[in-house]
Amino acid sequence: MSLRVVFMGTPEFSVPTLMEIVGQGHDVVACYSQPPRPAGRGMDLKKSPVHEAAESFGILVHTPKSLKDADAQAEFAALNADVAVVVAYGLLLPGPILEAPEHGCLNLHASMLPRWRGAAPINRAIMAGDTQTAIQVMRMEEGLDTGPVCMSETVAIEPNMTAGELHDRLSGLGGDLMVRALAALSRGALGEQPQTDEGVTYAAKLSKQETRIDWAKPAEEVHNHIRGLSPFPGAWCEMPLGSKPERVKILRSSRVDGSGVPGTLVASETAPVVACETGAVRLDQLQRAGKKPMSGQDFLRGASLSDGTLLD
């Protein structure tokens, strides 16, 4: 049975779920997304990926700056939705919004709740060295990701997997999981499992202040930091590549044997290898400002670096 659905999402991560819902024949009566933002060299207003996808399906798109005022809430309630599906929307949903659809609001969350509630669960899971995560459908409450879990699929985090790779994996699985949840909902068979109070952690929004690499940490932590911030916003360090130090993003790395003063280049044959507090990391993919990403080997061809060079 098809449902009347309001879809609420903004980034590329949300698009596969919207496409799956439409593909399964549900009636998406409206889409809510963040307002267009200035982007590019001309700083022209750019619609979000969800906004553009919704318009391609002929779905009406709303872009309110807030859902706290009575007019916005009345407009939402007037849609008479069976359910709202929320995937990385970016606005808090007040009580009247959560209660307006007949079956409430279902959220797609990219972690194994209650671990990594909050804004950046994919990045934080990798940065913490987690070996598994999940994509979950939860029923929304007014608390931050506190609602009961309705469906879940566990995903392994491979040792060298980047946040970008995990993002794409969870995004694709999420669309399938959500349409299965909607099918169960339409049959009256969608179960709920309350979250435990044990193991709660919060995935704080990423800040620019934490993107710089600290070579004085163990190699495992440095490696997890690099891949947890790849490809965006990108972990970085400064290298002596010209008359003054140049900031270089590190997009891929591997843990390798090696020792030395933290931050020192200890090998520079096939790719830069940098000593950490314990162990070392090989820099497998790097990106100079204004340049395309390149392999560690190609980077060395254009950089005057030698063993003993100190990176900051």
pLDDT, tens digit (0-9, with 9 covering 90-100), for 2-17: 999 999 999 999 999 9
Place of tokens 């549900």: 26
| Beta-bridge mates of residue 152 | 136
φ, ψ of residue 52 in degrees (nearest 5): -65, -40
Domains, the chain, with CATH or none:
4-202 (3.40.50.170), 208-301 (3.10.25.10)
- With a CB cutoff of 8 Å and minimum separation 6, the contacts of 46 are 36, 37, 38, 39, 40
The predicted model gives 225-251 an average pLDDT of 94
The dihedral of CA 178, 179, 181, 186: what is its sign? positive
The predicted model gives 202-230 an average pLDDT of 97
Cβ-contact 261, 275 below 8 angstroms: yes
**Cβ atoms within 10 Å, residue 39:** 11
* pLDDT for the residue 251: 98
The Cα 82–Cα 79 span in angstroms is: 9
Q: Indicate the helix (H) or strand (E) that contains 98.
A: helix 95-99
The Cα 100–Cα 111 span in angstroms is: 26
The Cα 161–Cα 227 span in angstroms is: 7
Could you give the C-alpha distances from 221 to 129, 264, 310, in angstroms and in order? 8, 17, 19
Q: Given the DSSP bridges, would you call strands 61-62 and 294-295 parallel, antiparallel or unpaired?
A: unpaired
* pLDDT for the residue 272: 94
Q: In terms of residues, how long is the chain?
A: 312
DSSP 63: -
pLDDT band of 241, cuts 50, 70, 90: confident
| 56-94 per-position pLDDT tens digit | 999 999 999 999 999 999 999 999 999 999 999 999 999
CA atoms within 13 A on the CB side of 10: 13
Identify the CA nearest to 9 among candidates 68, 84, 98, 101.
84
Cβ-contact 118, 145 below 8 angstroms: yes
| Beta-bridge mates of residue 61 | 31
Kindly report the pTM of this predicted structure: 0.94
DSSP 298: H
- With a CB cutoff of 8 Å and minimum separation 6, the contacts of 31 are 6, 7, 8, 9, 18, 50, 51, 54, 59, 60, 61, 62
| 254-286 per-position pLDDT tens digit | 999 999 999 999 988 889 999 999 999 999 999
The encoded tokens of residue 73 equal 């809430």
| 21-39 per-position pLDDT tens digit | 999 999 999 999 999 988 7
Cβ-contact 173, 135 below 8 angstroms: yes
